[in-house]
Amino acid sequence: MITFQFITALSEADPQSHLIARAGCALLPDSALIAEMRDEKNVADTRFGCAPFSRITLLPDALWQDSLTEGLVTALRPLLASPVSAEVVLDVTDIDDVVLAQVLRFLFNQAHRLSDLQLKKTSDTVRLERITALCLPEQQDRLTALFRQQQAIAQGMVAARRLADTPSDRCTPQFVVEEAQKLCAALPALRCEALDEKQIVEQGLGLLHAVGKGATCPPRLLAIHYDGVSDGPVRCYVGKGITFDTGGLWLKEGAGMYTMKYDMCGAANVLGLMLTVAELGLPVRIMGVLALAENAIGPDAMQPGTVATACNGTTVEINNTDAEGRLVLADALAWASQRHPQARYIIDMATLTGAVVKALGYELSGLMTQDEPLRAALTLAGKQSGDEVWSLPLDARLKKQTESAIADLCNTPTNNAAISASAAWLLHHFCPPTIPWAHLDISGTALWRESGRSVASGRPIPLLVEHLMEDC
């Protein structure tokens, strides 16, 4: 775990650390080097003549106030790709709170790298181990709480990212269950409840069964329970956990399959959220539900035209086997609402549709809900955390998109229109109107994309933790 500490003068910093500061920081030494670096209009970075530091980086003051484009994180990312020191000294004397949260999450997330999976020979000799914050004396008490909070959020993100980055031949539904059980066992406030393929059928989860029955690795449903208080309403989170998505008999093309090990990021992020909540000890009751299956091809795979029945009795015509995520989510939503019919709310998250990326890009998660207070609270939490959402419509005008001649619903619109909102309209049938419900489509935000490669991002854990803390 990456640790942190505070100092109020650079003379307190350990030698050979990496100093990262605003160009206008008043606590920088009065030297010719600093004066020359301050004259730079963009990033000024040196590893020469900067003793006692091993590296000094000065960044434009504007970046320390730019919460919209994450300019500071963008500037730091290549600098931390190959660290020269195990310690970063970060100037936090004048920085926007949202920017600070974004930067801290980025730094604490350096605890995970793909090399940690031990699948590639690597020479990572230097890893970030400590963040030293250069602050004013009067800032320290307030900053301590913020640093601890972002450290806990990053721990959950790292757990989720590490699981999602694991190749799907290893990361099967059962593997996810076992890894979650190991991680939760270290936190006494968490307890796990797992359903195997037989119990899934016995409890009527016909949609989850339909998706998972074609794979040699059978489906699982995992519920993680947290009781930070003895009574009160339960907050529920549901995550799509398709450990690999071939598209089923509606087979994807090869290029479309390349990142499909990440189709379980929603479930991984529910696990990460639960770990963070337990670490912070929030005074709430929560149930996280991971709907886990592999969407495979084979003699037992679901077929286009199949009608399957969810655990709430709703029948669904599966006219596209590559729209499987909404099927497992639907069953998990219905199951969660039956377990907690008085839930405070249910929020689901899923890498559900490529259409949301076309609509919102890679920076915003799509939010769909009919509950206005929940919409407002999540939108505000997104702005406060720097992990933002954007609302898409969800009302009865979408009804025709899920009509079926043979079943209660069909899983995809035949006109290929409003794909993201249509999926949410299907899902809303599986959460009773008495329970506030919101759907987060994280297809754009669940991955960090750079240089043509993708890795898990851990979003929207920061958003959901911020929302929880405001809702406690």
Judging by DSSP bridges, how do beta strands 437-441 and 130-134 pair with one another? unpaired
Told to judge if 252 belongs to the known catalytic residues of this protein, a careful annotator would answer: yes
Q: Are 440 and 346 in contact (CB under 8 A)?
A: no
In the block, which residue shows the tokens 């309209």?
425
Question: In this structure, what DSSP letter does residue 233 have?
Answer: P
The CA-atom distances, in angstroms, between 31 and each of 28, 68, 202 are 9, 33, 73
Per DSSP, which regions of 166-284 are E strands?
A: 190-195, 220-227, 234-245
Count the alpha carbons within 13 Å of 433 in the hemisphere toward its beta carbon: 2
Q: What are phi and psi of 179, to 5 degrees?
A: -65, -40
Q: Are 329 and 240 in contact (CB under 8 A)?
A: yes
Choose the catalytic residue: 113, 130, 252, 339.
252
One-letter amino acid at 386 equals: G
Told to judge if 326 belongs to the known catalytic residues of this protein, a careful annotator would answer: yes
Question: In this structure, what DSSP letter does residue 260 have?
Answer: G
Residues 6+ positions from 284 with CB-CB distance below 8 Å: 226, 228, 229, 232, 235, 277, 468, 471, 472
Q: CA-to-CA distance for 93 and 96, rounded, in angstroms? A: 10
Residue 147 tokens, joined = 């640093």
Q: CA-to-CA distance for 113 and 161, rounded, in angstroms? A: 9
How many C-beta neighbours within 10 Å does residue 438 have? 25
Choose the catalytic residue: 220, 235, 326, 375.
326
Active site (catalytic) residues = 252, 326
